[in-house]
Amino acid sequence: MSMLRIEDLCVRYGAIEALKGISLHVAQGEIVTLIGGNGAGKSTLMRAIAGLVKPASGTIAFEGRPIAGIRPHHCVRLGIGHSPEGRLVFGDQSVRDNLMLGAYARDDTDAIAADIDKYFAVFPRLTERQDQQAGTLSGGEQQMLAIARALMSRPKLLLLDEPSLGLAPLIVREVFAVIRRLREQGVTILLVEQMANLALAVADRAYVIETGRITLEGTGAELLRDERVRSAYLGA
């Protein structure tokens, strides 16, 4: 059974049809990536899964349960973690408090403290800055914090929206190293990326999305070799 199964999903913003019938699925333990140009509808799809936008039609099933249209704080409790585009860390609160807030839906205090230590070990730079306001962190550090904050809810499915956005190449490589490490730990990931070559290399499967529709799908390796993908997204 798929962990996430989306059928014929349509989302509109007023008159704009951002998603025009998207179908896709993500199996337990997979990394699935979604590539596509600006405005293709990638973030809208992530936001619909996280409950931030209500679909006009279509279904979203998470572990077999329909979740389209339910509110975001319920999605978190079902096991969906979201590291949004633009990171959106709580800039006026400390790094540690951002992580605490990431665990807002949990009430196992001891395990929360243990998880904070765990992610401080994964992201040593956050440890040094734990009492600093998140807004004073560098872009790369904020991205690490956004990912760690999403993981603090102990999600079954992690939505990563453009984790490399605006980061220096060296930092991008660090982010992808973290993604590989998460995969080894069995976290299921839906990854949206502009850096298509890196994303396809790390992904089990991939979808190409153009103006609200899926136009191609295959394994990461297949799409890396695909002529259309190479010319449109890999600059080859």
Partner 1 sequence: MTAILQALASGLALGAIYGLIALGFNITYATTKTFNFGQGAFLVPGSLVGVSLLLLAAGKPHWGNLAPSEMTLLSYGLATLASVAIVGAIGIVLYYCAIKPFVGAGGLNWVLSTIGFGIILQNAALAVWGPASIAVPSPLGNEVWRIAGAGIRPQEVLIAAVAISVMVGLDIVIRKTRFGKALRAVAFNPQAAAIVGINVEKIVIIAFVISSSLAGLAGMLIAPITTASVFIGLGVALKAFSAAIVGGLTNPRGCMLGGFLLGLIEALVGLWRAEMREITIFLLIIIVLVLRPGGLLGARSVEKI
Ligand X SMILES: Nc1ncnc2c1ncn2[C@@H]1O[C@H](COP(=O)(O)OP(=O)(O)O)[C@@H](O)[C@H]1O
Q: Return residues touching ligand X (CB under 6 A).
A: 13, 16, 18, 36, 38-44
Please name the residue that has the structure tokens 């199996």.
27
> Binding marks (x or -) toward Mg ion, 85..124, rule CB under 5 A?
x---------------------------------------
Which one of residues 27, 56, 104, 204 is an interface residue with partner 1 (CB under 8 A)?
A: 104
Q: Name the segment binding partner 1 (CB under 8 A); options: 66-74, 116-124, 176-184, 214-222.
A: 66-74
Nearest approach, Cβ of residue 33 and ligand X (Å): 13
Cβ neighbours of 128 (radius 10 Å): 12
Nearer to partner 1, 40 or 76 (CB): 76
Burial class of residue 233 in the structure, from the number of CB atoms within 10 Å of its CB (0-12 exposed, 13-18 middle, 19+ buried): buried
Q: State yes or no: residue 72 binds partner 1 (CB under 8 A).
A: yes
Q: State yes or no: residue 102 binds partner 1 (CB under 8 A).
A: yes
Nearer to ligand X, 88 or 113 (CB): 88
173 binds, among partner 1, Mg ion, ligand X, none (CB under 5 to 8 A by kind): none
Nearer to partner 1, 23 or 132 (CB): 132
Report the C-alpha gap between 160 and 203 in whole angstroms. Answer: 13
Which of 47, 42, 45, 50 lies closest to 67, judged by CA? 50
Q: State yes or no: residue 165 binds partner 1 (CB under 8 A).
A: no
Interface with Mg ion (CB under 5 A): 42-43, 85
Interface with partner 1 (CB under 8 A): 50-52, 71-73, 76-77, 82, 84, 88-93, 97, 100-102, 104-105, 149-150, 152-153
